[in-house]
């Protein structure tokens, strides 16, 4: 039996709940795209941010939702990576949404900020600025997978708040 048929057989053996977990973790088809993390933030993260701000969600509710998304991502990545037999599978991209959500905490929806936030957060996530690289290697399961993105989000959030303070017109 070749490797592709083995993978196909394992996919058939998954329960409906396991398949749902993988669909959530890959944000539907987005985790299967090239540059899946960046594509997910661009295709799902930015519109979700726009929707949340359009609904008038308070900063505290946004932060609570971001925390819930982060904890869900930890669980999904932990279980999903076990199902897939990988660490930090490229198809599971919920961590990317959590990192971007952290990056935008407490900020207004203004296109210049969103674009800079997107570019900076994605760059920092890919580069893995300390302690993200340490966390990714040392923290177990979904914790390490998700919290390297959270570090990129925190750095980005701090930078964006500083930029808003120094150049208030960017947040208008």
Q: Could you tell me how far CA 153 lies from the centroid of its own chain? A: 9
SS3 59: helix
Q: In the block, which residue shows the tokens 């890919």?
A: 126
74-99 tens-digit pLDDT: 999 999 989 888 888 889 999 999 99
125-146 tens-digit pLDDT: 999 889 988 888 888 888 988 9
Cα dihedral sign, 120-126-132-136: positive
- Decide: 123 and 106 in contact? Cβ < 8 Å: no
- Domain range list for the chain: 3-171
CB atoms within 10 A of CB 69: 20
């Amino acid at each position: 039996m070749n490797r592709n048929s083995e993978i196909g057989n394992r996919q058939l053996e998954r329960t409906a709940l396991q398949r749902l977990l993988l669909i959530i973790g890959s944000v539907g088809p987005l985790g299967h795209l090239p540059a899946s993390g960046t594509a997910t933030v661009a295709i799902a993260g930015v519109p979700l941010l726009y929707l949340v701000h359009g609904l008038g969600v308070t900063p505290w509710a946004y932060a609570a939702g971001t925390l819930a998304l982060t904890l869900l991502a930890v669980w999904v990545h932990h279980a999903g990576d076990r199902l897939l037999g990988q660490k930090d599978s490229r198809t599971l991209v919920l961590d990317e949404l959590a990192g971007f959500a952290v990056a935008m905490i407490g900020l207004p929806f203004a296109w210049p900020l969103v674009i800079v936030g997107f570019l900076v957060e994605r760059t920092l996530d890919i580069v893995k600025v300390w302690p993200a690289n340490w966390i990714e290697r040392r923290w177990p399961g979904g914790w390490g997978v998700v919290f390297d993105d959270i570090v990129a989000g925190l750095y980005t959030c701090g930078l964006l708040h500083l930029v808003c303070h120094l150049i208030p017109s960017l947040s208008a």
